Structure 1
Amino acid sequence: MTDATQPMLKARGLTKRYGRVTALDNCDFDLMPGEILAVIGDNGAGKSTLIKALSGAVRPDEGTVELDGKQVQFQSPLEAQDAGIATVYQTLALSPALSIVDNMFMGRELRAPGFAGTYLRKLDHGRMRTFAREKLNDLGLMTIQDIDQPVETLSGGQRQGVAVARAAAFGSKVIILDEPTAALGVKESRKVLDLIQDVRSRGVPIILISHNMPHVFEVADRIHVHRLGRRLCVIDPKSHSMSDAVALMTGAKQPEPEAA
């Protein structure tokens, strides 16, 4: 059972160098159970490298990562996904021409029982449709009527919803969302923010990478400020303003000792 006082995902001393460039410089990270943790930082601060190191896309040169109290060393994003870290990138990694069901089960297809599934590799489309519909309904994505329709026919917010539903559907312990509202309008962004809070309410902690300060301050429980390849501080959005966050990000302001 997860200890609510211990981080669900924890990193200590992460360092990653690319030649003479140090992308991560002895970086620490903590994601607590059931929280939305926003990660903010200026361009080039090392946010992307941090997320890639946590999700198996990059192997750090130094440092440790722990998931649910156990040290892990991911060789690939698939290993991280199998361990329970699901990442939804800004590009969504959906196949537009395939249906919603096919996208949700890509790489995890269910085989039909018996000879047909085992030897002929026949898929169990009925079971996959039922499961996909349940998961979309669970997250309140009721506007998607036909789960066999191609993803390219969906709106931006609906596509983001499918990607998040896919991440949440397969027993994920942690979901990482990379700029989930970047390409969306006001109405679509609203739906995605509601979806993020809905996923959190089901007990799944979320790492939210975003440049949109109003969105960050609306949904985040804590804000990890990343600067010059490391965690500068973690702030509480209830006791800090957006101006404070930007000043910390850009180096115009230093963190208070207790915030560091």
Structure 2
Amino acid sequence: MIHVSATPVLALRGVSKRFGAVQALTDVDLEIHAGEVVALLGDNGAGKSTLVKTISGVHPIDEGTIEWQGRPVRVTRPNDAQELGIATVYQDLALCDNLDVVANLFLGTELRRASVLDEIAMEKRAKELLDTLSIRIPSVRIPVASLSGGQRQVVAIARALIGDPKIVILDEPTAALGVEQTAQVLDLVERLRENGHGVILITHNMADVRAVADRAAILRLGRNNGVFDVKDTSHEEIIAAITGATDNAVTRRQARTASKEDAK
């Protein structure tokens, strides 16, 4: 379900970023539409983390443009990204084990009534949010320490949704999870898409890409190296783009096809 005709919620146009002498990103383009999951793929050092940190305001871009719903915007700090409607769930989750699920969901954004914490309102909102996302946990009042890895991951994602963002960035959300817990997280990713969120999924797991991604955007050595419709693209073609094995049967065939078109 890709709304290619619609204006992307988020677009990067010719984005570059350097750290001293190291050119981390060069002229990168990326578009994310509402209700779409885009897998961001690339080997270690390809620039995935840097790209995510430019979108989330940790590393301001040096060149290029970030567009939000078709308009250029400045994202120079994390608050800028959050105010636009970009939420990032990093790999380390940063959950507080000793606090319960409600307290974790509202950490830093607590609801108050007359300067007192409104526990009833927060618990109600927590239950509604978890229900909307079909997240099943024993109770919103149990400490996060007692949850499984998959449950912790979905709580971290739910926390990112408290501010009702339009774009959700998930950094390796299934990296440390078993099969059943991975399925739980991928179900949630599908729910995000159904609810109209744009999702950027950073992963090394091609099975996850096949399961939930609409498109795969490949970075190689800090540059774009292809954007593929997942359902129409072979596993080998995506791997070739990631590894930079440019001379393979797929690329040779594409070159032949292109030269025939040019000859017409």
- Matched letter for residue 53 of structure 1: T
Stretch moving more, 196-205 or 72-81: 72-81
Match of 1:203 among 196, 204, 207: 196
4+ residue stretches of structure 1 with deviation over 4 A? 254-258
Match of 1:242 among 235, 240, 244: 235
Q: Does 1:14 align with 2:8?
A: no
Number of residue pairs aligned between Structure 1 and Structure 2: 250
Q: Does 1:215 align with 2:216?
A: no
Q: Tell me which residue corresponds to 2:262.
A: none
Map 1:180-195 onto structure 2 (within 5 A): 180-195=173-188
The Cα of 1:227 is off from its aligned counterpart by 0.8
Q: In structure 1, what is the Cα distance between the partners aligned to 2:189 and 2:174? A: 11
The Cα of 1:212 is off from its aligned counterpart by 0.2
Map 1:216-235 onto structure 2 (within 5 A): 216-235=209-228
Cα deviations by residue, 1:27-72 (Å, 9 ceiling, x for unpaired): 1111122100000001101111111101111111111101112222
The Cα of 1:244 is off from its aligned counterpart by 1.3
- Matched letter for residue 153 of structure 1: S
Q: In structure 2, what is the Cα distance between the partners aligned to 1:128 and 1:82? A: 21
The Cα of 1:14 is off from its aligned counterpart by 0.9
Q: Secondary structure at the match of 2:230?
A: coil
Q: Secondary structure at the match of 2:231?
A: coil
Q: Tell me which residue corresponds to 1:128.
A: 122
Q: CA RMSD in A?
A: 1.9
The Cα of 1:83 is off from its aligned counterpart by 1.5
Q: In structure 2, what is the Cα distance between the partners aligned to 1:33 and 1:139? A: 17
Q: In structure 1, what is the Cα distance between the partners aligned to 2:5 and 2:244? A: 33
Q: Does 1:77 align with 2:78?
A: yes
Q: Secondary structure at the match of 2:188?
A: helix
Map 1:142-153 onto structure 2 (within 5 A): 142=136, 144-153=137-146
8 A contact 2:11–2:67 mirrored in 1:
yes
TM-score (norm 2): 0.90
Q: In structure 1, what is the Cα distance between the partners aligned to 2:99 and 2:244? A: 45
Q: In structure 2, what is the Cα distance between the partners aligned to 1:172 and 1:224? A: 22
The Cα of 1:220 is off from its aligned counterpart by 0.6
Q: In structure 2, what is the Cα distance between the partners aligned to 1:107 and 1:245? A: 40
Q: Percent identity?
A: 47
8 A contact 2:54–2:61 mirrored in 1:
yes
TM-score (norm 1): 0.91
The Cα of 1:4 is off from its aligned counterpart by 5.5
8 A contact 2:214–2:229 mirrored in 1:
yes
- Matched letter for residue 187 of structure 1: E
Map 1:157-172 onto structure 2 (within 5 A): 157-172=150-165
8 A contact 1:4–1:32 mirrored in 2:
no
The Cα of 1:3 is off from its aligned counterpart by 9.4
Cα deviations by residue, 1:85-104 (Å, 9 ceiling, x for unpaired): 00011111211111111111
The gaps in structure 2 that reach 5 residues or longer are 258-264
- Matched letter for residue 52 of structure 1: K
Q: Does 1:139 align with 2:133?
A: yes
